[in-house]
C-alpha cells in the first residue's frame, strides 16, 4: 500500500514536543539587541512632537526611532505582498495602536521600560469607528482579488426575477472583526552584514511566505532580493496573519540598520490586535427568492467590508464568491464595497470571504427552506449546481452530493422534526442545523529539489514553510512513495529562502502547489536511477518492469543496489530539481472543494446559553495525503467555526477606536469544554484535474459553513433567527 494517504505521525512531532523545533525568536544570534514598539493612543490625528529625554536616559537604550529620524524607505509600495502600513514615514495617525516609535535597548526589559517613558504629543481628530454609521460612504475596491477580476458580477436579471418568487427574503447579516492570534506571535530577528552598497539582510522571521517576505523586504529597502535571506523552519500558526510582511518585520530590519546590531522584535499579545491584520467586519445585504417548487429564482448579495483608511492599502473580504457558484440559479448579482474606518489594515483570515460570506448565504438558504416548508438538505439538492454557473465551466470534481448524504447519515439528520422548538432534551431546547461549505482549489507554481544518496537516504528541499499543517510530513510521504523508501529515510528541508522557490502557504494551496514539484523532482531522480540500471543491466526495460525499494532497483531478473550504480559512475548521490505548475488546459475546469456541515445545539431557554453538543462535517477535499494530519485540520477548522459562531469578536471602543479586548482572556475562543466530539468525514474524492496528487486543500474548507450550521441549529432550537455574529446570550435570553 502506498505511503501516500497513510495516517502517519508528523515527522517533526518529536522536535515539537521536545522543544527542539526552533521558532523565529529562539534563534541565537550573537550580539542581538531588543526592539519594542510604541503605539499611538489616539485613533486619528497628527503627531506634533516627541518627548524622549526621559526614555533616552534609561539604561541600555541604544536608539529611539520615530518618524523624525527613521530611515526613509526607498519604496513603500509595489510588491503585492507588501503592506503599505505605517512604517514611521510620516506623522499622521490613522488608527489607535498605530506604531509611532521603536525603542531599541540591550535587553528586552530595558527596551520595554524605556518604551513606557516615550511621550508623544498629538493633535487628535475624531476617529471613524463604526462602519455601520458610514455605510453610505462605501466605495468600490480598486484591487479586488489583487485585480484579477471585477468586484461585481451579474448574470440574468435578479432584480426583476426577485418579484417572481413565491417566497422572498430580504435580510442583512453582520459578522464582526476577528483576530487570528496564532500561538506564536509575530517575531523577527534582523541582521545586516557586509559593507555599504553590498549589504545583505538576514531575517529569522515567522511567516507563511518566505519568498514573499524576501521580495517585500528587498523592495522596501531598495536592494536586490538575492541579498535578502529569510529563515523560518517552523511557524506557530498563521491563519492568514502571517501571509503579508507586516510593519514589525520591516521595523526590526530598519532598527538593525540604524543601530548596527542584530535586532529582535517580538510583538506582544496585545499588539497582535493592531499590527498584523484581522478579519474585518462585514455587513451583507441579501435578497433571495425561490419558487414554490423550491428552485432559486433570484440571488442578490451586496457585501460591505470594513476597511482601514485607504492610505494604508486595500483589503476586500470577498464575501459574495460562494453565492456566485454554489447553486444553480439564473439570476444572480454580487457586489463588493469597502467602508473606511480609523482601524488598522485588515487582511486574510482563514477562509477569507468564504467564512463570513457563507454565513450569510447559508443562513439565507435556511430561511428560504423554512419559508418554503422544504427540508434544508433537500432544498440545497434542488438547487445543486452540476457545473459552475458563474464561470460556465464543468467542475474538475465535485462530490458534494456524497457529502450531504454521508454527513446526514452519520449525523442522523432524519430524526430532525422540521418545526422550530419541536425538539427537546429535558428542559433544554434542541436544534439541528446544516450548511454547505465550499472553498476554491488553489495552485501556484513551485520548484523542488530531491537528492538520493547511494544508501537511499533522501533529501527533499523546497522553499515552502510548514505553518503547522504537516507540510514536512506529507512532502516526506510524497518523496517516499516515488522512491520506494520508508518515510524515516527522508529528510525534508523547508523554511529558507535559499531553497527552491515555493509560493505563500495561504489559500490552502501548499499541498496542491508544492506537492507536484516534489513529486516531479522525485520522479526525475527515479528516472535517472532507472536509466543507470537500464544502461548497466536491463537495456530497454520499461519503467513498469523496474521498481525502487529501500535503495535497490528491482528489475525483471534480480536486484541492483543504487550504491553500485552510483559507485560505477563515481557518484555519491543523484539529484534533480523540477518546476511544477498547472497546465493551461487545466483552466477549462472550475476547481473547488466542498463540504456539508451538521450541528446539534442545546439551548438553555432561560439563560440563552448555547452549547454545540454534536457535530459532523463531511468533506470533498480531494485526495488526502495523510489521513491523520488531514483529519486534524478538518477538526481544527470546525472548532474555528464554532468560535466564529458563538464567541469570537474584537471589540472596538466607539469613542477612541481602541481595541478593548486585546488579550486572550477577553477575546473569547472555544476551549475543550466548548467543543463536542467532532466527526470529520473524508468523502472519497480525487481531483487529478487540479493537480497530479489529486488534493484539493484542507486548511480553510472545514470552517466554511460552520457558523451558519450553528446559527441554523439555534433557529431550529429556539425560533430566533440570529443574523449577527457571534450569537450571544443577549440574543436568546428568555426565549
Ligand atoms: Mo490563509 S487566510 O489563505 O492563510
Nearest Cα residue to 652 out of 346, 342, 305, 359:
342
665 band by pLDDT with thresholds 50, 70 and 90: very high
Query: Which residue's C-alpha cell is 430532525?
Result: 416
Query: Is the torsion defined by CA of 637, 642, 647, 651 positive or negative?
Result: positive
CB 87, CB 221: distance < 8 Å: no
Mean pLDDT along residues 336-357 = 97
Q: Which atom of ligand 1 is nearest to the CA of 505?
A: 4
- Ligand 1 geometric centre to CA of 81 (Å): 13
> Looking at the predicted structure, is the pLDDT value of residue 82 above 80?
no
Domains 24-125+183-237+242-273 and 443-580 share a fold: yes
Mean pLDDT along residues 501-505 = 98
Nearest 10 degrees: CA dihedral of 315, 320, 326, 331? Answer: -150
H or E element at residue 710:
helix 706-718
> Looking at the predicted structure, is the pLDDT value of residue 53 above 60?
yes
Q: Which atom of ligand 1 is nearest to the CA of 351?
A: 2
Q: So what's the pLDDT on residue 79?
A: 44
User: Which residue's alpha carbon is nearest to atom 4 within ligand 1?
Assistant: 240
CATH top-level class for 133-178+278-442+588-732? Answer: alpha beta
- Ligand 1 geometric centre to CA of 471 (Å): 15
- Ligand 1 geometric centre to CA of 358 (Å): 16
- Ligand 1 geometric centre to CA of 505 (Å): 7
> Looking at the predicted structure, is the pLDDT value of residue 83 above 70?
no
CB 368, CB 169: distance < 8 Å: yes
Q: Which atom of ligand 1 is nearest to the CA of 239?
A: 4
- List, for residues 378-391, the tens digit of each pLDDT value: 999 999 999 999 99
> Looking at the predicted structure, is the pLDDT value of residue 395 above 70?
yes
Residues with CB under 6 A from ligand 1: 208, 238-240, 243, 348-350, 352, 506-507
Which of 633, 700, 701 is the pocket-test mutation for ligand 1 (most atoms within 8 Å of CB)? 700
Q: Which atom of ligand 1 is nearest to the CA of 208?
A: 4
Nearest Cα residue to 496 out of 238, 242, 187, 232:
232
Which of 237, 243, 444, 644 is the pocket-test mutation for ligand 1 (most atoms within 8 Å of CB)? 243
- Ligand 1 geometric centre to CA of 349 (Å): 5
| Burial of residue 47, with CB atoms counted within 10 A of its CB: 0-12 exposed, 13-18 middle, 19 or more buried | buried
Mean pLDDT along residues 553-566 = 97
Which of 236, 278, 439, 506 is the pocket-test mutation for ligand 1 (most atoms within 8 Å of CB)? 506
Q: So what's the pLDDT on residue 81?
A: 40
- The rounded percent of the chain whose pLDDT value lies above 70 is 98
Q: So what's the pLDDT on residue 86?
A: 82
Parse the chain into domains and list their residue ranges. 24-125+183-237+242-273, 133-178+278-442+588-732, 443-580
CATH 3.40.50.620 at 443-580, yes or no: no
Q: So what's the pLDDT on residue 196?
A: 87
Rounded to whole angstroms, the Cα distance separating 168 from 290 reads 7
Q: Which atom of ligand 1 is nearest to the CA of 240?
A: 4
Quick one: how far is CA 541 from the chain centroid? Answer: 46
Rounded to whole angstroms, the Cα distance separating 446 from 689 reads 17
| Burial of residue 666, with CB atoms counted within 10 A of its CB: 0-12 exposed, 13-18 middle, 19 or more buried | exposed
- Ligand 1 geometric centre to CA of 243 (Å): 7
Pairing of strands 610-620, 592-603: antiparallel
CB 636, CB 575: distance < 8 Å: no
Rounded to whole angstroms, the Cα distance separating 139 from 395 reads 33
CB 325, CB 592: distance < 8 Å: yes
Q: So what's the pLDDT on residue 77?
A: 53
- List, for residues 310-340, the tens digit of each pLDDT value: 989 899 999 999 999 999 999 999 999 999 9
- Ligand 1 geometric centre to CA of 509 (Å): 9
Rounded to whole angstroms, the Cα distance separating 228 from 214 reads 6
Catalytic, out of 39, 314, 367, 700 = 700
Q: Give, rounded to a whole angstrom, the gap between the first and last alpha carbons of the chain.
A: 55
Q: So what's the pLDDT on residue 23?
A: 98
Q: How high is the mean pLDDT of the chain? A: 96
Q: Residue count of the chain, please give it.
A: 735
- Ligand 1 geometric centre to CA of 449 (Å): 26
Cell numbers given for 574: 543523484
Q: So what's the pLDDT on residue 85?
A: 65
Beta bridge partners of 190: 203, 263
Rounded to whole angstroms, the Cα distance separating 290 from 297 reads 5
Rounded to whole angstroms, the Cα distance separating 572 from 562 reads 10
Rounded to whole angstroms, the Cα distance separating 629 from 469 reads 7
- List, for residues 300-313, the tens digit of each pLDDT value: 999 999 999 998 98
Rg (CA), the chain: 27
CB 582, CB 688: distance < 8 Å: no
DSSP track, 475-504:
HHHHHHHHHT--GGGEEEE-SBTTSSB---
Q: So what's the pLDDT on residue 438?
A: 98
Cell numbers given for 390: 458563474
735 band by pLDDT with thresholds 50, 70 and 90: confident
Nearest Cα residue to 176 out of 723, 732, 729:
723
- Ligand 1 geometric centre to CA of 547 (Å): 39
DSSP track, 335-381:
EEEEEE-SSPPP---SSTTHHHHHHHHHHHHHHHHHHHT--HHHHHH
Mean pLDDT along residues 502-528 = 98
Cell numbers given for 368: 428560504
Q: So what's the pLDDT on residue 80?
A: 44
What's the fold here for domain 24-125+183-237+242-273?
Aldehyde Oxidoreductase; domain 4 (3.30.365)
Instruction: Provide long-range contacts, Cβ within 8 A and 24+ apart, for 107-111.
Output: 107/34, 107/60, 108/34, 108/36, 108/264, 110/34, 110/58, 110/59, 110/60, 110/61, 111/33, 111/34, 111/35, 111/36, 111/60, 111/61
Q: So what's the pLDDT on residue 75?
A: 63
Q: Tell me if the bond preceding 449 is cis, omega within 30° of 0.
A: no
Residue 606 annotated among the catalytic residues of the structure: no
- The rounded percent of the chain whose pLDDT value lies above 90 is 95
Nearest Cα residue to 697 out of 386, 325, 443:
443
Rounded to whole angstroms, the Cα distance separating 108 from 32 reads 10
Amino acid at each position: 500500500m502506498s505511503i501516500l494517504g497513510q495516517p502517519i505521525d508528523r515527522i517533526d512531532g518529536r522536535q515539537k514536543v521536545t522543544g527542539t523545533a526552533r521558532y523565529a525568536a529562539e534563534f541565537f544570534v550573537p550580539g542581538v539587541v531588543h526592539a519594542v514598539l510604541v503605539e499611538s493612543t489616539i485613533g486619528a490625528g497628527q503627531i506634533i512632537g516627541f518627548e524622549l529625554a526621559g526614555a533616552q536616559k534609561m539604561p541600555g537604550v541604544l536608539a529611539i526611532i520615530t518618524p523624525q529620524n527613521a530611515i526613509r524607505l526607498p519604496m513603500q509600495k509595489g510588491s503585492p505582498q507588501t503592506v503599505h502600513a505605517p512604517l514611521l514615514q510620516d506623522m499622521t495617525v490613522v488608527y489607535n495602536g498605530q506604531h509611532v516609535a521603536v525603542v531599541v535597548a540591550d535587553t528586552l526589559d530595558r527596551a520595554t521600560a524605556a518604551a513606557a517613558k516615550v511621550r508623544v504629543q498629538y493633535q487628535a481628530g475624531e476617529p471613524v469607528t463604526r462602519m455601520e454609521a458610514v455605510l453610505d460612504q462605501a466605495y468600490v475596491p480598486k484591487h479586488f482579488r489583487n485585480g484579477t477580476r471585477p468586484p461585481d458580477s451579474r448574470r440574468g436579471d435578479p432584480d426583476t426575477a426577485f418579484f417572481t418568487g413565491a417566497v422572498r427574503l430580504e435580510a442583512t447579516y453582520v459578522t464582526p472583526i476577528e483576530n487570528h492570534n496564532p500561538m506564536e506571535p509575530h517575531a523577527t530577528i534582523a541582521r545586516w552584514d557586509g559593507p555599504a552598497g553590498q549589504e545583505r539582510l538576514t531575517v529569522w522571521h515567522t511567516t507563511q511566505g518566505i519568498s514573499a517576505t524576501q521580495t517585500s523586504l528587498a523592495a522596501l529597502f531598495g536592494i536586490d532580493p538575492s541579498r535578502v535571506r529569510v529563515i523560518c523552519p517552523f511557524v506557530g500558526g498563521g491563519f492568514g496573519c502571517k501571509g503579508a510582511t507586516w510593519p514589525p518585520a520591516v521595523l526590526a530590519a530598519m532598527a538593525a540598520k540604524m543601530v548596527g546590531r542584530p535586532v529582535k522584535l517580538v510583538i506582544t499579545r496585545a499588539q497582535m490586535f493592531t499590527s498584523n491584520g484581522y478579519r474585518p467586519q462585514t455587513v451583507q445585504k441579501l435578497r433571495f427568492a425561490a419558487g414554490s417548487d423550491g428552485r432559486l429564482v433570484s440571488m442578490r448579495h451586496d457585501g460591505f467590508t470594513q476597511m482601514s483608511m485607504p492610505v494604508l492599502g486595500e483589503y476586500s473580504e470577498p464575501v459574495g464568491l460562494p453565492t456566485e457558484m454554489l447553486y444553480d440559479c439564473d439570476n444572480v448579482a454580487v457586489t463588493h464595497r469597502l467602508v473606511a474606518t480609523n482601524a488598522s489594515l485588515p487582511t486574510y483570515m482563514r477562509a477569507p470571504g468564504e467564512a463570513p460570506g457563507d454565513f450569510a448565504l447559508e443562513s439565507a438558504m435556511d430561511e428560504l427552506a423554512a419559508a418554503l416548508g422544504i427540508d434544508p438538505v433537500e432544498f440545497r439538492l434542488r438547487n445543486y449546481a452540476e457545473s459552475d454557473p458563474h464561470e460556465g465551466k464543468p467542475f474538475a470534481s465535485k462530490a458534494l452530493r456524497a457529502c450531504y448524504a454521508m454527513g446526514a447519515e452519520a449525523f442522523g439528520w432524519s430524526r430532525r422534526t422540521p418545526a422550530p422548538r419541536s425538539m427537546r432534551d429535558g428542559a433544554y431546547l434542541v436544534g439541528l442545523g446544516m450548511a454547505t461549505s465550499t472553498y476554491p482549489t488553489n495552485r501556484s507554481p513551485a520548484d523542488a529539489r530531491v537528492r538520493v544518496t547511494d544508501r537511499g537516504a533522501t533529501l527533499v528541499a523546497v522553499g515552502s514553510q510548514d505553518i503547522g499543517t504537516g507540510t514536512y510530513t506529507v512532502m516526506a510521504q510524497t518523496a517516499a512513495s516515488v522512491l520506494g523508501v520508508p518515510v524515516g529515510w527522508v529528510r525534508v528541508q523547508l523554511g529558507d529562502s535559499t531553497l527552491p522557490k515555493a509560493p505563500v502557504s495561504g489559500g490552502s494551496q501548499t499541498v496542491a502547489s508544492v506537492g507536484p514539484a516534489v513529486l516531479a523532482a522525485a520522479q526525475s531522480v527515479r528516472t535517472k536511477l532507472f536509466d543507470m540500471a537500464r544502461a548497466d543491466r536491463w537495456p530497454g526495460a520499461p519503467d513498469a518492469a523496474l521498481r525502487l525499494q529501500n535503495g535497490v532497483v528491482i528489475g525483471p531478473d534480480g536486484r541492483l543496489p543504487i550504491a553500485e550504480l552510483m559507485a560505477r559512475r563515481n557518484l555519491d548521490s543523484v539529484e534533480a530539481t523540477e518546476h511544477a505548475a498547472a497546465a493551461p488546459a487545466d483552466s477549462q475546469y472550475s476547481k473547488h472543494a466542498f463540504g456539508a456541515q451538521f450541528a446539534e445545539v442545546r439551548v438553555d431557554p432561560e439563560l440563552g446559553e448555547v452549547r454545540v453538543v454534536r457535530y459532523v462535517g463531511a468533506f470533498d477535499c480531494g485526495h488526502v495525503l495523510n489521513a491523520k494530519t488531514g483529519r486534524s485540520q478538518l477538526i481544527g477548522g470546525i472548532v474555528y467555526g464554532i468560535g466564529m459562531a458563538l464567541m469570537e469578536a474584537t471589540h472596538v471602543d466607539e469613542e477612541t477606536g481602541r481595541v478593548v479586548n486585546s488579550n486572550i482572556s477577553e477575546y473569547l475562543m472555544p476551549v475543550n469544554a466548548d467543543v463536542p466530539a467532532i466527526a470529520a468525514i473524508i468523502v472519497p474524492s480525487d481531483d487529478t484535474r487540479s493537480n497530479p496528487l489529486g488534493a484539493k486543500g484542507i486548511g480553510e474548507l472545514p470552517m466554511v459553513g460552520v457558523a451558519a450550521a450553528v446559527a441554523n441549529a439555534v433557529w431550529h432550537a429556539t425560533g430566533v433567527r440570529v443574523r449577527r455574529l457571534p450569537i450571544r446570550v443577549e440574543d436568546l435570553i428568555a426565549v
